[in-house]
Every structure is written in C-alpha cells, then in structure tokens.
Amino acid sequence: MNAAAGVLGPLKKVGTGFGSFSAAQKVIAVLGVAGLLLGGTAFWRWASEPTMTPLFSNLAMTDASAITEQLDSSGTPYELVDGGATILVPQDQVYGLRLDMSAAGLPGDAGTGYALLDEQGVTASQFQQKTTWQRALEGELATTIGSISGVDSARVQLAIPEDDVFADTAGTPTASVLVTSRPGSTLTDAQVQSVVNLVSSSVEGMAPEDVTVVDSAGTLLSASGVGGAAGGMRDQQTADYETRVTGDLQEVLDRVVGKGNAVATVTATLDFDDVQSTEERFTQPEGGPLALSQSTAEEVYTGAGGAPVGGQLGGTGILGPDNIAVPNAQTQAGADGATGGYTNKSGDSTFGVDKTTTVTDAAPGALQRQAVSVVVDTAASRAVDMQQLQAAVTAAAGIDAARGDVVSVTQMPFDTSGADAAGEAAAAAAAAEEAEARNTLIATGAVLLVVLLLLVVAVLAGLKRRKRDRRAAQALDLGPMEALVAQAQAAETAAAIPAPRSAPAIERAPKDDAALAREQVAELADRSPDDVAELLRGWLAADKR
C-alpha cells in the first residue's frame, strides 16, 4: 500500500496540476509531451540502428542478386543503394561477410581476368592455352578500364596475329574497346587517350594508332590508324580553339565598344597530319677547308739517249718488217753521248665540311588557317575608330597574312527587338514573382494577425472570467471553509504525531456547519476551479512558512 501510495501521490499531483491549466495550456502541454515522446523515439531508433558501410560496390546485377540471396539466407540486414550496384551491411560485420562471400566465389569474377588461367587443365592444347590467355588479358583490361572515373563498364577485344616462320613480316595486333559511361558523365579527350595508351602498352607490338575506342552510343572516340585523334576529338579540339580565341576577342570588344555592341566569330582550320621533315646542311669550317686525308706520288726515270738495236744494248732504231731494225745514225751506241729520262708527280687530298642534320616531327593540331569576323553596332561604332579596332582585333587573334588568315571588321545596325522582348519578359516575370511573394507575405501576415487576435481575445476572455470568478469568490462567505481547512490541517498534524491513549479526541465542527461548508466549497470549485486551486495553494504555502 505504501508503494502504491508513493506512486499514486506524484501522479495525483501531476493530474491536479494539469487540471489547473487552462485549455490553451493543456493543448501546449500535450503537444510538448507528444513532441518529446516522438523525438525520443526517433533518437532511440537512430541510436539503436547499426552503422551501414558498403560491402561491395559497382556490382553486376547477377552478382548483386547472388550476394543478397546469401545475406537473406544468413539473416544479415542489408541495404541496396546506387541502383542495386552497392550493398550496405552493418559495419561490425563487413569483414566477416567479405570473407564468407569470397569463400562462396562472390562477386563472380572467376569467369574473367587471370582467374581463367586457374581453370586450365594439364591436357589443354596449345590453341586452348593461347585463347584462354587472350581472354584473360581482355578481361583484365576491361576491369582496369572500368575502374576509371566516369566509366560504368568496358569490353575489350584483341586481334593478335599468329606467328608464322614462313612470313617475311609479322602482323600487327589491334584492339577494339567499347566503353559505357555512367549516366550524366562523358569521357574527356584525356581519358580516351589514357584508355588508348593503356591498351596499347599492355599488348606487345601494339601501337596507339592500332586501338579503336567506341562509346555505347556508337560514337567513335579514337579510330585505328589516325594517331589516336578521331573525328570527334578533332572537332572538339577545333571547337576549343575557336571558343578560346572568340572569348579573347569578345573581351577586347566589350571593353572598347561596350558589352553587347559587338560580336566576334572565329573559324579555324587545324592540321592533324603527322609530318616528319629532315634537313641536312653543309657549311665550310672557319679558317678554310680542313684536309681529312692527303696522298702524293712521284715517278722519276733516267737513262741513255738511244735504244737497243738488234737486241744489243746501247743501240736504238726503228723496227721494220720482220722485226728487222732499221739503222739510224743517231742510234749508234754512244754516238753523241746524250742521255734521256722523265718525272711524274700526282697528289690526292680529301677535305671535310661541317654537316648538320635536323629531323622535325610536327605535332597534330597546328593552326593551318583562320578567319575572324567582327560586327559592330552602328550606334556604338560612331565613337570608335574602325581602323584602330581592326588593328586591335588582328593583333588579339594572331592574324598571319602569309598563312592565309583573313580578318573582317564591319559595322551594321543590330536588331534589338529580341533583346527588348526578352528584357520585358524578364521584367514581367520578376514583377509577377515579386507580386506573388508580396501576396504570399500578405496572406501569411493576415493569418498570423487572425491567430494573434484570437489569442488576444482568448486571453482577454480568460482574464475577464477569472476576474468575475474572483469577485464571486470574494462575495462568498469563506469563513466555514477556512475553519474546515484549519481543522483538516490540525487533523493531519495530529495524525502525523502519535498521541497518548489518554489524549482527548479532537473536536470536530458540527455536522451541519461542515456539510454546509462542503457544499459551498464544491459549488465554488465547480464555478471557478482555478481560483479555488490558487487559493488553496496560497494557504498551504503560508502554513508551511
């Protein structure tokens, strides 16, 4: 009983205090308690829920289905995000679940990549080994390309020619790559070039020009045999150059003639051919030519003046028929004592010169020709020197007449009807938006004002009712009630202090007066419970003091 009384006592006090509230206070108290309960429940649920972390990401639909089946069978809670490509599990279980999934062969990457080599048997033929190796390489390349930012998936197909000992030249391997981008993303030129270099570097003998990259929409990103710069990349590079030069020209024009008073257009032609040139130049060294090699030869002969005759030394003559020498007076040996001879000299010299060989590789994308057109509004061109403006445009665009560049600066009246209509439409839209905001503000203010007036009326009515009840309470004779309260307090004090058995009994008020006081108190409590409760609290507080 004491425990029940200890529990019911505070509840009765809370009920009594709640009963003394006004209607508005009761509504606010109920809403506050309900808000606290809801907030506490939400916080408890949030605090009690486990922290979820990714188990696997970028999963295929088949792998995600197999993994969720395993999680359902083990009773593990999980969440699917990113369109089912990512599975979230409680953070404290992620490592154990990864081990379990790996033991079950999930995710199912065993059918691609180098894992294919683990499935080969000892009886595999050479053709099977070569085919499996090519499939494994294709799978590894596809997985690597799929890890690039913005790439959802990729497929790689390699064409590797067979080695033939009877062929004079070996074939060139080629590759085709199909790339599927993530929704809302597009591969940049740098990413496409990275894919090309990645594939070409992974296959022996493959050049970047032998790789073809295509996206899922069928757009050719990099074609085979064009040095990695496909038509789309060429157009993009040309557009980038034109946009950059146009922006520079437009900035100059806006500062000179004012914003919106001039328009610039640039059309460029870029050269994407791979050009290699070789130049050899020979020059004479300073100080004259330098002999690299030099040789001389000299032959000297001396002897008698006559020639032998008839086979005898010292004789000379002329052979006639049948090789018979014809005598000559001057051919007699030692006839006059004269002698004969000759000297032959020759020389060979090799001189060196300076030689310079220059090999130049022109990178694709060089500017071949450009045309610039600038149109200035007639109304704004009156205060501008058109010749000076043309000279400024020529210098800003880098015009080269020898290259065939063309620049044109003209003045024409601009059609501003569209701009005026757009300005009027924008002004009307702004005015409508402002009016809507103003009407919303007025409506909100009116609602708040009505609510405030209702609250003021309710407060005034409550004050008026309390004042009326207070006057009624003052007019009521509370003498018997005060006596009854005094007797009740004396009875509580006597009950708290045990009296001796011989103590006289507590005198009570006459039955008729007590009944009358109870009736008056009950009537007063029915009419103004708030005032009665306030009065009783005041008396009790005064007695405790």
Looking at the fold, whether 182 and 262 belong to one and the same domain comes out as no
pLDDT at 232 (0 to 100): 58
DSSP 205: T
Number of domains in the chain: 3
Asked whether residue 137 falls in the same domain as residue 28, the answer is no
Residue 66 lies in domain: 22-108
pLDDT band with cut points at 50, 70 and 90 for residue 189: confident
At residue 473, the pLDDT reads 58
Residue 208 pLDDT more than 60? yes
- From residue 187, give the alpha-carbon distance in Å to each of 139, 209, 220, 231, 240: 21, 19, 12, 15, 16
Domain final residue pick, 400, 417, 434: 417
**Is 395 inside any structural domain?**
yes
How far is Cα 496 from Cα 413, in angstroms, rounded to an integer?
Answer: 107
Question: Is 11 within the bounds of a domain?
Answer: no
Q: What pLDDT sits at residue 478?
A: 53
Spell out the SS3 assignment of 3-49: HHHHHHHHHHHHHHHHHCCCHHHHHHHHHHHHHHHHHHHHHHHHHHC
Asked if residue 458 belongs to a domain, the reply is: no
Q: What is the DSSP letter of 171?
A: P
Same domain? 130 vs 154? yes
Task: Please determine, for residue 440, whether its predicted confidence score (pLDDT) is greater than 80.
Answer: yes
Model confidence at 498: pLDDT above 70:
no
* Spatial contact of 405 and 368, defined as CB atoms under 8 Å apart: no
Q: Within this chain, do residues 262 and 186 fall inside the same structural domain, yes or no?
A: no
Share of the chain above pLDDT 90, in %: 13
pLDDT (tens digit, 9 = 90+) per residue, 143-169? 889 888 888 888 999 998 887 777 677
The rounded distance, in Å, linking the Cα atoms of 404 and 235 is: 21
Q: What mean pLDDT value characterizes the chain?
A: 76
- Is 325 within the bounds of a domain? no
CA distance 96 to 104: 13
Residues 365, 262 share a domain: yes
The pLDDT tens digits of the residues spanning 240-288 come to 899 999 999 999 999 988 888 899 999 999 887 777 888 888 777 776 7
Q: What are the φ and ψ backbone dihedral angles of 323, each rounded to 5 degrees?
A: 60, 35
Q: Are residues 259 and 147 in the same domain?
A: no
Contacts of 216 (CB under 8 A, 6+ apart): 178, 179, 180, 181
pLDDT at 139: 87
Mean pLDDT (whole number) for 412-429: 82
| Sequence-ordered list of residues with C-beta below 8 angstroms from that of 39, at least 6 positions apart, any chain | none
What does the pLDDT read at residue 330? 46
CA angle 408, 409, 411 (to 5 degrees): 135
Residue 374 lies in a domain: yes
Residues 246 and 387 in one domain: yes
**Is the same domain home to 78 and 136?**
no
In terms of average pLDDT, the best of 305-319, 350-364, 504-518, 531-545 is 350-364
Question: Given this model, what pLDDT does residue 322 score?
Answer: 55
Residue 474: inside a domain: no
Does 58 or 197 have the greater pLDDT score? 197
Is residue 207 in a domain? Answer: yes
- Note whether 199 and 55 are same-domain residues: no
Judge if 51 and 132 occupy the same domain.
Answer: no
Asked if 160 and 204 count as a contact pair (C-beta separation under 8 A), the reply is no
Angle between helices 189-202 and 126-146 (to 10 degrees): 160
Give the helix/strand (H/E) hosting 120. Answer: none
- Tell whether 269 and 380 lie within a shared domain: yes
**Do 385 and 268 share a domain, yes or no?**
yes
Q: pLDDT tens digits for 55-85?
A: 887 777 777 888 888 898 888 888 888 888 8
Is 219 contained in some domain? yes
Tokens of residue 431, six digits: 């005015």
pLDDT for the residue 111: 52
pTM equals: 0.40
- The highest-confidence range among 191-200, 446-455, 534-543, by mean pLDDT, is 191-200
pLDDT number for residue 438: 86
